[in-house]
Amino acid sequence: MAVFEGSCTAFITPFTENGDKINYVTLEQLIEFQLLHHSDALIGLSSMGEGTALSESERIEYLEFVCAKVKKRVPLLFEIATVSTQSAADLIVQAVKAGADGVLVPPPIYCRMNQRGIFDHYKYLASKSAIPVIAYNIPLRTGYTMTPKLIAELCRNHIVEDLVDGSGNFTAISEILSLCRDSLTLYAGSDDTILPMLAFGAKGAISAAANLFPRQLHDLIMSYSRQDTAASLNLQLQLTPIFRALSVDISPAPIKAASALLGRNAGACRPPLASPDSASLEHLRKVLLDFGALDERHE
């Protein structure tokens, strides 16, 4: 059974002006904005939410706050990105205790390992988790590619049943599905691959752009599920300039900047992430204006 279906927003974490604290007032407003505009699921502590920039105590406080505010209105996931297996297991325990519906787990960051080490990582975490452990293949962020053989082995051993793919390698996706199609639920891990991933049978997507346009991302995926591929394609093409503009700098800095332009200021990113320069901000503003998201009052 899929943990969620549709658009899952990897929502940003707002900070106070000097960045030393999470702005929980704004965080609650962002959560309610997502739910009001038809996000099908939410994920916190992701790279878009600067999860690795939070201290251990901040992560636990954040988990408890977000779970209390979402109140099971939609499936709620948390990304567990750590440098060790034990630290990931400890954070999963806290996520379960807070009331999460699932955890999204990439291979450990920074440390070097082989495919067997990655397998053992997921095996241990699954044994310690009372909620689904979703594998996250995101080589751009981890430096590791989870091979089709590894993913199939995880499925055969019932360690994971869900995969978010952020590699964009459709040859590998084809091989994965040939090995374990009937035992794996697939999700897109980047906005620009949503439609092709749906064609491969994905049930939904983890979306960064949904921070800005949750209803449109929901409609894109739901249109495809209703077999209205023309509407889904039209939305994917309409949103493509937005997806490209959000790559003008390292995420989530462009997303936070665009959110502020749209009237939902979440503050700056924590160091070492820097805010976009003036040229990038102007490009974002122009793309949002062309998309119809800004009017003359924002110029």
Q: Is 136 one of the catalytic residues? A: yes
* Amino acid at site 124: Y
| CA dist list (Å): 291 to 11, 193, 277 | 21, 20, 21
DSSP 15: B
Closest CA to 53 of 77, 81, 27, 94: 81
Residue environment code for 4-15, b if the CB has 16+ CB neighbours within 10 A, otherwise e: bbbbbbbbbbbb
CA dist 276 and 251 (Å) reads: 10
Write down the domain spans for the chain.
6-246
What does the alpha-carbon distance between residue 74 and residue 102 come to, in Å, rounded to a whole number?
12
The token duo for 172 is 């590998």
State phi, psi for 85 to the nearest 5 degrees. Answer: -65, -45
CATH architecture type of domain 6-246: Alpha-Beta Barrel (3.20)
The answer to whether 205 touches 197, Cβ cutoff 8 Å, is yes
Distance CA 212, CA 234 (A): 18
Give the pLDDT score at 298: 43
User: Which pLDDT score, from 0 to 100, does residue 245 have?
Assistant: 97
What span, in angstroms and rounded, lies between the C-alpha atoms of 97 and 161? 22
Say if CB 123 and CB 157 are below 8 A apart.
yes
- Distance CA(145)–CA(115), nearest Å, equals 9
Structure tokens, 128: 């310690």
What are the binding residues for pyruvate? 206
List the pLDDT tens digit at each of the 299 positions of the chain: 789 999 999 999 999 988 899 999 999 999 999 999 999 999 999 999 999 999 999 999 999 999 999 999 999 999 999 999 999 999 999 999 999 999 999 999 888 889 999 999 999 999 999 999 999 999 999 988 999 999 999 999 999 999 999 999 999 999 999 999 999 999 999 999 999 999 999 999 999 999 999 999 999 999 999 999 999 999 999 999 999 999 999 999 999 999 999 999 999 999 999 999 999 999 999 999 999 998 754 44
Rounded CA separation 127/183 (Å): 18
pLDDT of the residue at 61: 98
Catalytic residue among 62, 122, 136, 144: 136
Which amino acid, 132? P
Tell me the C-alpha distance between 15 and 162, whole Å: 31
Predicted local confidence at residue 297, as pLDDT:
43
Residue with tokens 């975490």: 125
Q: Closest by alpha carbon to 102, among 185, 216, 201?
A: 185
Q: What pLDDT is stored for residue 295 in this prediction?
A: 73
State how far the Cα of 21 lies from the Cα of 94, in Å rounded to an integer: 20
Euclidean distance between CA atoms 22 and 124, whole angstroms = 31
DSSP string of 85-111? HHHHHHHHHHHHHHT-SEEEEPSPSSS
Binding-site residues sit at 206
Q: What is the number of other CB atoms lying within 10 angstroms of the CB of residue 71? A: 10
